[in-house]
Amino acid sequence: MLYIEVCTLIFSDNMRRELVVFLIILVLLVVIHVVQTTELRSDVSRLKSENEVLRKTYEFQINQIRVYYESRISELQDEVGRLSTLNDELRRDYESKISQLQVEIKRLITLSEELKNDYESRIDQLRRSYEFQVSQLQVEVNRLNNLNNLLKESYESQIKALNNEINKLNTLNEELKRNYESQIDRLKSEVEGLTAMNYELRKNLTYYMDLLSKLNSEYYTVISDYESQISKLRYELTELQYKLKYAVFPVELFIMSQDEINNFLIKSITSVSNLSKQFETKQSVNELLMRVFEYIMNNTYYQYDSIAVRSGNVTDGNYWKLANETLIDLGGDCEDLAVLTYSLIKPYINHTYLLGWYNNKTGHVAVITYTNRYWYIIDPAGNWLNNYKLMMRLILKDREGREWIWWLSPIYIHPDIKRSGLQNGYIIYEWREGGKTLTEIRGYPDITQLLQDWLNYWRGLAGDKPNLLMIGIDIFYKDLTLNELTQKLIEVTKT
């Protein structure tokens, strides 16, 4: 109290107020300090406890690490001992090897000195040799330079001469160009003249066609005269025919017994046995059939049966000739040409048969054969062999020397005319299919397709479903359908 009173006396009112404020602030600071100190003590206590826990944890881990490293240090000490021993061994080994290497190095140094001396000697020799060669090359270079200069002068003169020649050629080319242009103009005028001439010649074509028609008419007139004369000769044979018709065999296969058919076919084959031997060569089946077909087409032609040779047992006016009869008569109708073909092929191909179609109006006969898994239909009267045709290329020249070509079927042309044409070179035989010339035919692996193609060829006469027949030695089937004929053919070719 005394202190306060003294202070009151000493300080003024303002100072007293300031002092009070100061004291209040001081009290607040002390309170804050006390609070913070309490909190800090609490934190210190917490941190001490956490530090103790961490200390114990770290001590445990340190003990583990110490134990691990002590064992590891022991192992390393053992390894260091082993390595020290190995190092001593290696050192001794290296020292011995270094000693050996030092000896080898000394030897190599000595050898190097010797080689150095030798190389220096050789290098000196080579240097002297190269210097000599360089001097020679320099002389050669100088010579070549002189020669090059001479050649350069020569080439320049030649180039100059060539340039002059080129100029001359250019001038000549211009002249030739002008000449060619004038010749082209002249040729154009000649082409126009030839075009006009061609027009005139085309007008003459009608005249030549008319002339050919007249020649054909005259030809058929001559043929008609020949047939008339032959008919007269055949009339003279009528009486003999009647006398022999039962003594030998019938001449119509449709009414024959199987034995009579066999006798007829065997006799026909025998009648041309000498001729068939001409085809006995080492040729393929295709070549054999082509040769036989060509022979028949060249030596026969299609003829209708003459009344003079018809006998009382010939039905529908059909007389079936033996093969040699057809050759003597220079031809016959379809069955005659088929029998001739059969007789020439049968000795070489066993599975060979006469094949025919017929309806209530007409009929037709050809030959079918099978070998090496391939089928063939040979139809000389129809000029048909597996869809191929043998055509005559007729070549005629007009008065201007131009050639005119016609394609004709040889089956309707007399053999004398064909032989004459071949000898004189205006007839050539060619195998054709669809407008193309061929050198070889092919067989059919499918019998059904072959029969269909053949019947389609004759569809205009045979119709859609004609009756079919098949004739051979010990074989005679008729009134067959296409499927039935196919089965029969497959059956007989299996034997």
Domain ranges of the chain: 236-493
- Higher confidence at residue 25 or residue 354? 354
- Rounded to the nearest integer, the mean pLDDT of the chain is 81
Query: How much is the CA Rg of the chain, to the nearest whole Å?
Result: 64
Tokens matching residue 418: 């064909």
Query: Out of 308-312, 315-319, 368-372, 421-425, which region has the weakest mean confidence (pLDDT)?
Result: 308-312
- Higher confidence at residue 360 or residue 224? 360
Report helix, strand or coil for 397. strand
Instruction: Tell me the C-alpha distance between 336 and 306, whole Å.
Output: 13
Sorted by sequence, the CB contacts under 8 Å of residue 375 that are 6+ apart come out as 368, 369, 443, 444, 445, 446, 447, 450
Long-range contacts of the stretch 429-432 (C-beta < 8 A, 24+):
429/294, 429/297, 429/298, 429/390, 429/391, 429/392, 429/393, 430/390, 430/391, 430/393, 431/290, 431/388, 431/389, 431/390, 431/391, 432/388, 432/389, 432/390, 432/391, 432/407
pLDDT at 339: 96
Check whether 427 has a pLDDT greater than 60: yes
pLDDT at 200: 64
Instruction: Tell me the C-alpha distance between 29 and 242, whole Å.
Output: 174
Report helix, strand or coil for 363. strand
Instruction: Tell me the C-alpha distance between 338 and 344, whole Å.
Output: 10
Check whether 311 has a pLDDT greater than 50: no
The 3-state secondary structure of 19-53 reads: HHHHHHHHHHHHHHHHHHHHHHHHHHHHHHHHHHH
pLDDT at 5: 54
- Higher confidence at residue 242 or residue 320? 320
Report which listed range, 52-66, 244-258, 350-364, is most confident.
Answer: 350-364
Query: Out of 112-116, 127-131, 244-248, 359-363, which region has the weakest mean confidence (pLDDT)?
Result: 244-248
pLDDT at 134: 77
Bridge partner residues of 353 (DSSP): 368
pLDDT at 489: 94
Check whether 49 has a pLDDT greater than 70: yes
